[in-house]
Amino acid sequence: MAPVVAEWTRGPLVETLARGDAAVVDATGRLLFQVGDGQKVTFWRSAAKPIQALPVITSGAVDRFGLAPEHVAMMAASHNAEPVHVETVLEALRRAGLSPDLLQCGAHPPLDREAATALQAAGQEPGRVHSNCSGKHTGMLVLAKHLGLPLDDYLEPGSAVQQVILQCVARVTAVPAGEIAIGVDGCGVPVFGMPLRSMAFAYARLAAPEYLDDEYREAGRRMRDAMWTHPYLVAGRGRICTDLMSLPGRRFLGKSGAEGVYCVGLPPETVSLSPALRNSGAVGGVGIAMKAEDGRADVSYLMVVEILDQLGLLTAEDRAALARYGPGPITNYAGRVVGERRAVFELAPASN
């Protein structure tokens, strides 16, 4: 069982406990720190999106269809379906000569309340382009068209598109393809089960692309830079991915996944700012992967903020910008403080 990582108090009592695991890994694959079990196996969910999209770049599809960095960022997104997100997805499809009707991600209301209200007020039903995964599906369609593959089966695990993506995931995580558990994500595409340590390794390399295999090195750099340049497209208003990557200095590369998964990449320049990482002998970039055992996103967000803080990487200004996600007071509807949410774990050095 995962250890308790957070408590929610009310008055004199601890009202709620949350459990979780995390792994901190450098670009050579060495496990530096962990919370609970850094080898815990779970599904990567949408935190895998930046890696899933790399073949769209390596294949030449992005350049062939004239896709810009903002379109690349959208392929890694779990977006709010605010107008800017929808317009960016539609533009990518237009440039590739593809119809939104080809998207097989299903439809759901925009994650952003304001965008959902505006859509409803306009008398419109949510379409597939409003799915938070429409950017990822657009990338897969673009890849299929570029390779001359069928456009109607791109989400099937046995399709050529998904086999190319699986091989990329295997290479970047260093987990053999045959050892990756395959499930079905909420949007219908394959999802990958593997140890947190392997997810963190992928993010360490994505944050320091020079540690990727030659085939993926330039694509990794382009993906990383696109996410840093367009953090709003990766998520949107009121979302931790956007707020984390919008902090000054391009210090953090963050991506959420469903069911309490979160991954962060730290480039070498950020690693050098952490006494704990320097003392651990971290090489290159560093990746962090975490999983809230009960699948609560707010638990994984609190873990993100606390781990970065324990590594000595957050300034007072950073803490203020991330206050809604990290430890802090609990207020009632009248605005009165009635309790506290707090982290109750410490990163433990790994013995490897």
Q: 351: pLDDT confidence band, cut at 50, 70 and 90?
A: confident
Using a cut of 0.75, tell me whether the model's pTM lies above it: yes
Q: d(Cα 86, Cα 122) in Å, to the nearest integer? A: 15
Q: What is the pLDDT of residues 90-131, one digit of tens each?
A: 999 999 999 999 999 999 999 999 999 999 999 999 999 999
pLDDT above 80 for 247: yes
pLDDT of residue 231: 98
Mean pLDDT within 45-55: 98
Q: Are the CB atoms for 301 and 241 separated by under 8 Å? A: no
Mean pLDDT within 140-146: 98
Three-state secondary structure of the chain: CCCEEEEEEECCEEEEEEEEEEEEEECCCCEEEEECCCCCEEECHHHHHHHHCHHHHHCCHHHHCCCCHHHHHHHCCCCCCCHHHHHHHHHHHHHCCCCHHHCCCCCCCCCCHHHHHHHHHCCCCCCHHHCCCHHHHHHHHHHHHHHCCCCCCCCCCCCHHHHHHHHHHHHHHCCCHHHCEEEECCCCCEEEEEEHHHHHHHHHHHHCHHHCCHHHHHHHHHHHHHHHHCHHHHCCCCCHHHHHHCCCCCCCEEEEECCCEEEEEECHHHHCCCHHHHHCCCCCCEEEEEEECCCCHHHHHHHHHHHHHHCCCCCHHHHHHCCCCCCEEEECCCCCEEEEEEECCCCEECCC
Q: What is the pLDDT of residues 283-325, one digit of tens each?
A: 999 999 999 999 999 999 999 999 999 999 999 999 999 999 9
Structure tokens of 336?
């009165």
pLDDT of residue 352: 63
State the chain's mean pLDDT as an integer. 97
Mean pLDDT within 320-332: 97
Q: What is the pLDDT of residues 29-43, one digit of tens each?
A: 999 999 999 999 999
Q: What is the pLDDT of residues 211-220, one digit of tens each?
A: 999 999 999 9
